[in-house]
Amino acid sequence: MSMWDRDICQREIDTIDEVLSMRYLSTGRKIEHFEGRMARYVGSDQCTGAFLGMTPLRMALPAAGPGDSDLVITTTFSLAASGNSVL
């Protein structure tokens, strides 16, 4: 059973192919372009892109500021990275 129906246009497929043909996936002009556009979109002067699931979680959780006695809830429908980022 599918969890969602894909809605991917040819432009998106071409962009993915272009990125996958680059030497590095997490650096370079595409990620810089993404970071700049995302920063503007959220009204910030900075943005950092991350391509591994645990990296953005490890960056975002401290920014949210939970304390030692706070409860952090995550989903069971996830990889270990969700729970590991809380530890």
Element (H, E) at 56: helix 54-64
Q: Which two tokens stand for residue 83?
A: 């729970």
pLDDT at 84: 82
Q: What's the residue count for the chain? A: 87
Question: Are residues 34 and 16 in contact, defined by beta-carbon separation less than 8 angstroms?
Answer: no
Give the pTM.
0.58
pLDDT at residue 43, as a whole number: 96
What tens-digit pLDDT sequence spans the chain (87 residues)? 566 777 889 999 998 899 889 888 778 888 899 899 999 999 999 998 887 778 888 888 888 888 889 998 887 777 787 888 888
On whether the CB atoms of residues 4 and 27 are closer than 8 A, the answer is no
